[in-house]
């Protein structure tokens, strides 16, 4: 072939190839802009394989997985682009968030710092970079979760229980609404379903479900009014979209009429230009909480409240801090017990969306419910299902589920009652006014208890923890131990009795003063007799096996030999008194006089008070049992 024609053919082939790739690029971007992320990913991947706009398309793949809440795939592609030149700082933030979803917390903080350094408005990461640990729930209840029986291979989430019926949101596509596929997820549009008494699942009847998204929802206490989220869709027609072509979420109201949810009304504070959704009623039905990305908020999505008076509504109010952050707060739930639950990626947590609580007792503190309620992925949709708040539901896209999102049944176990009796290890008698301290894993005191007159103590503790313990009394040796509360779901209380060993000091145990003598005398004075009576009582009634020895002493006046003999007479007098009052001789192994050799006060020129302190009998424990 002529060389000119050959070169021309190559150029034409290259031009056709570039035109084809350019067409694919436009298709991929159009799918992305239309939120069809699942389809867009496939086209972007094909372009990357053909080495076309590689960095751009890799980031679009990563961003698509970010939108789909798929950290495992997202981090692979972000890792390939974040070190490239001219990458937007937004990629650092998204990469860091996805790393949190993979539990790579240290690496996530590194990229958050890089984002903070290069982004113009880094306030959203300040709390996430706080070196303090996660503020976990201070309540002593324990949570257990297991997959709900209503889950499918599609997304299922957002439960609400009314009069024993479980309502929830699902993409299973079984509602009679001309099922369409939602391009964002590749699943059918969401509808509201309910479970029946026999366990079957059916779409709610009436006019609630449409060809667009419905759910989540809340129902009034009388069971007659439903507030629910839906795309801007009414009377079988799509509502107005915003300038970017987005059909926003709105909150609607439905009435239960002859067993069907009809009479649909749009709430007046809904908008065509921003979304409102995730409704939750207060216990008295006078306040509706919801999430919205309305302008003027603190972050991407904030939680608001609005008053309800019949069919009238007040002006929505942003809850502000500490609930809302520069991140996203969604899925509010106002519980009857006064606690307020919600999900957030702006408060410090274990992964992406975590479930938090603001308790009635500590409204200034936002507490993470911890594991197993939260995971490294998205956790949301907390709600109670029983009047006593021992059962409930959460939703999550954590590993091990059936679909993209799944419903998990939640059991709340009451605190474990820790109780016991503190007793003497020798005689078994209860010890009143002993102190029992419990510490946490950081050795910080969390409970300080004092035994009653029968030596009993009691408190509440959490399950699945190890508590360092310290028991003390002034007359006993301190005891330390650990209490482990794992594997105690079937128990309501843990009995932990404590034995304290008495100190080996009879003067302390009997609360006696020293046995003092007059100058140059060995007789037992009346004040000394009272103290010896205490020792007799201790040896007879408290420690019948106690064996002692007696040591007696003098002051320094007189010769050494004279003082030795005087001390022996004092020891004999002490011994005789104890034996005469019922103490067996064999329980006093020795009684010895030391003269002036072991003064209590070692003085060269002693005054009378110091001399008196040296004229004494003392006791030493030989055996207690």
Token readout for 235 is 């009377």
User: Are the C-beta atoms of 377 and 399 separated by less than 8 Å?
Assistant: yes
| Class of domain 25-129 as given by CATH | mainly alpha
Residue 117: per-residue pLDDT: 85
| Max Cα-Cα span within the chain | 140
| CA angle, 184 then 189 then 194, to 5° | 140
Domains 142-413 and 506-623 share a fold: no
The 10s digit of each residue's pLDDT in 29-78 is 898 888 899 999 999 999 999 889 899 999 999 999 999 999 999 999 99
Q: Where are the domains of the chain?
A: 25-129, 142-413, 416-500, 506-623
Phi-psi region of 464 (alpha: psi -120 to 50; beta: other; left: phi over 0): left
Residue 96's CB is within 10 A of a number of other CB atoms, namely 27
**Exposed, middle or buried by CB within 10 Å (0-12, 13-18, 19+), for 103?**
middle
User: Are the C-beta atoms of 346 and 333 separated by less than 8 Å?
Assistant: no
Pairing of strands 493-495, 416-424: parallel
User: Are the C-beta atoms of 613 and 601 separated by less than 8 Å?
Assistant: yes
Residue 11: per-residue pLDDT: 43
SS3 308: strand
User: Are the C-beta atoms of 280 and 289 separated by less than 8 Å?
Assistant: yes
User: Are the C-beta atoms of 393 and 406 separated by less than 8 Å?
Assistant: no
Second CATH level (architecture) for the domain 416-500: Sandwich (2.60)
CA nearest 513: which of 612, 442, 391? 612
Give me the half-sphere count of Cα atoms (radius 13 Å) on the Cβ side of residue 89: 13
Distance between first and last Cα of the chain: 114
Give me the half-sphere count of Cα atoms (radius 13 Å) on the Cβ side of residue 172: 19
If one looks up domain 142-413 in CATH, what number appears? Answer: 2.120.10.30
Superfamily of segment(s) 506-623:
OmpA-like domain (3.30.1330.60)
**How far, in Å, CA of 469 to CA of 440, rounded?**
9
Pairing of strands 165-170, 156-162: antiparallel
Spans in the chain with pLDDT lower than 70: 1-20, 120-124, 131, 177
Residue 493: per-residue pLDDT: 96
Phi, psi of 598 (to 5 degrees): -130, 70
Residue 19: per-residue pLDDT: 58
């Amino acid at each position: 072939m002529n060389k000119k024609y050959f070169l021309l053919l190559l150029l034409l082939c290259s031009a056709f190839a570039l035109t084809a790739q350019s067409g694919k690029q436009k298709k991929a971007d159009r799918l992305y802009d239309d939120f069809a992320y699942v389809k867009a990913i496939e086209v972007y991947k094909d372009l990357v394989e053909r080495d076309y706009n590689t960095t751009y398309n890799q980031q679009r793949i990563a961003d698509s997985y970010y939108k789909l809440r798929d950290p495992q795939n997202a981090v692979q592609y972000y890792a390939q682009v974040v070190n490239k030149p001219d990458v937007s700082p937004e990629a650092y933030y998204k990469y860091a968030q996805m790393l949190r979803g993979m539990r790579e917390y240290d690496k996530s903080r590194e990229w958050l710092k890089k984002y903070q350094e290069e982004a113009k408005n880094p306030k959203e990461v300040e709390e996430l970079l706080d070196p303090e640990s996660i503020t976990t729930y201070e309540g002593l209840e324990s949570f257990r979760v297991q997959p709900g029986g209503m889950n499918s291979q599609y997304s299922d989430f957002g439960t609400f229980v009314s009069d024993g019926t479980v309502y929830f949101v699902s993409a299973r596509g079984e509602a009679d609404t001309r099922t369409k596929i939602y391009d964002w997820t590749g699943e059918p549009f969401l509808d509201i379903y309910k479970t029946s008494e026999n366990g079957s699942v059916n779409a709610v009847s009436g006019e609630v479900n449409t060809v667009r998204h419905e759910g989540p929802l809340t129902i009034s206490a009388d069971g007659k009014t439903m507030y629910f989220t839906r795309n801007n869709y009414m009377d079988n027609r799509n509502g107005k979209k915003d300038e970017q072509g987005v059909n926003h979420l709105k909150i609607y109201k439905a009435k239960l009429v002859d067993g069907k949810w009809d009479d649909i009304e749009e709430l007046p504070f809904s908008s065509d230009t921003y979304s409102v959704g995730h409704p939750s009623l207060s216990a008295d039905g006078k306040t509706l909480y919801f999430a919205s990305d309305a302008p003027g908020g603190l972050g991407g999505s904030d939680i608001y409240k609005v008053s309800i008076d019949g069919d009238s509504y007040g002006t929505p109010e942003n809850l502000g801090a500490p609930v809302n952050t520069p991140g996203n707060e969604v899925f509010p739930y106002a519980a009857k017990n006064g606690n307020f639950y919600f999900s957030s990626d702006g408060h410090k947590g274990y992964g992406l969306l975590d479930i938090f609580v603001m308790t009635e007792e500590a409204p200034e503190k936002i507490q993470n419910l911890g594991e197993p309620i939260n995971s490294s992925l998205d956790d949301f949709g907390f709600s109670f299902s029983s009047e006593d708040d021992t059962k409930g539901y959460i939703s999550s896209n954590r590993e091990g589920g059936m679909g993209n999102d799944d419903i998990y049944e939640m059991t709340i176990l009451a605190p474990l009652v820790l109780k016991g009796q503190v007793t003497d290890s020798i005689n078994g008698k209860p010890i009143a006014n002993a102190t029992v301290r419990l510490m946490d894993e950081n050795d910080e005191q969390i409970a300080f208890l004092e035994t009653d007159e029968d030596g009993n103590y009691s408190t509440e503790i959490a399950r699945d923890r190890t508590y360092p313990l310290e028991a003390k009394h002034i007359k006993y040796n301190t005891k330390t131990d650990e209490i482990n509360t794992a594997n105690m779901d079937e128990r309501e209380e843990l009995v932990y009795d404590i034995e304290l060993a008495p100190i080996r000091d009879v003067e302390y145990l009997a609360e006696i003063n020293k046995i003092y003598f007059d100058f140059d005398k060995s007789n037992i004075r009346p004040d000394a007799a009272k103290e010896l009576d205490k020792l007799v009582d201790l040896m007879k009634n408290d420690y019948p096996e106690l064996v002692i020895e007696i040591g007696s002493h003098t002051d320094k006046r007189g010769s050494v030999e004279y003082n030795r003999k005087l001390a022996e007479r004092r020891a004999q007098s002490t011994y005789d008194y104890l034996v005469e009052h019922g103490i067996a001789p064999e329980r006093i192994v020795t009684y010895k006089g030391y003269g002036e050799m072991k003064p209590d006060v070692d003085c060269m020129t002693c005054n009378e008070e110091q001399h008196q302190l040296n004229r004494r009998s003392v006791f030493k424990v030989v055996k207690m049992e």
